[in-house]
Amino acid sequence: MIDVALTGAKGRMGSLIIDEIRSSQDLRLVAAIDVVGIGEPVLGDLRVSDAGDVRRVLRDSQPNVLIDFTVPSAALENIRAAAENRVALVVGTTGFSEEQISIIEDTIKSAGIAAVISPNFSLGVNIFWKLVEIAARSLSDYDVEIIEAHHRKKRDAPSGTAMRTVEILRRSLGIEDIRHGREGICERGKEIGVHAVRAGDIVGDHIVLFAGPGERLEIKHQAHSRSAFATGALRAARWVVKAPPGIHSMEEVLASS
């Protein structure tokens, strides 16, 4: 049995992860932590613990893995708490600054724990990234634009998935410049265009468009349900408890599980 602690337990992702744990045979929820719904029942006798007590809750519940779907500032604290308690990590939160990423990397490395960090745990998006890389290698002279769309409550923009796509394109194309949206007179240069749509209840769409003389190629992923992310995050949780120390990608999880 794998004992799981969850931060962001009352959120959209947290609630789905609890549903999947409820119907699983090999996972047990031992701590559900949030800033809202404190004291409310979540699963069996387990109730929501206050995020302010995360260190004590992890010490008392001794999970094998902490899954975090919160906000960047909270995730940073939760990662520190997991490191102090030597608990493996699955981090799905997006929108970290460069400085926060470097603190997270140092914290995990110096604690010697294993972590899977991914802005997108869906199987389809991980294949989408591979296809983008292949296309970029062959279409290096084409203009490239990323268009992403999410629900109106998403806090960060562009999405973590779009920013990981930017990294892949930068590496494959050798282009540094990013253009976030366009307004007024703006001639197109050697740049990666990035456009974020926020509307209604869109779960998550990503398109990479390559356009050249007389044609365009679009690589597109659409998530219909957050369950694609929850299933992937739990697959990462099962994998990370046996993984060597260090920060691992979802690609590694999918390659060996």
Contact residues for ligand NAP, defined by CB under 6 A: 7-8, 10-14, 33-36, 51, 69-71, 74, 92-95, 118-121, 156, 229
Shortest distance in whole angstroms from residue 22 CB to ligand NAP: 17
**β-pairing verdict for 88-91 and 65-68:** parallel
Which residue number is nearest to ligand NAP in terms of Cβ? 11
Shortest distance in whole angstroms from residue 123 CB to ligand NAP: 11
Cβ closer to ligand NAP: 229 or 239? 229
E strands in the chain = 2-7, 27-34, 41-43, 46-50, 65-68, 88-91, 114-117, 143-150, 178-180, 192-198, 204-212, 215-223, 246-248
Q: What is the CA radius of gyration of the chain?
A: 19
Cβ closer to ligand NAP: 90 or 219? 90
* Catalytic residue list contains 180: no
Of residues 27, 33, 30, 40, the one with CA closest to residue 54: 33
Question: Cα angle vertex 40, ends 35, 45, to 5°?
Answer: 125
Catalytic residue among 150, 195, 206, 221: 150
Catalytic residue among 10, 130, 154, 242: 154
* Catalytic residue list contains 206: no
Cβ closer to ligand NAP: 219 or 234? 234
Active-site residue set: 150, 154
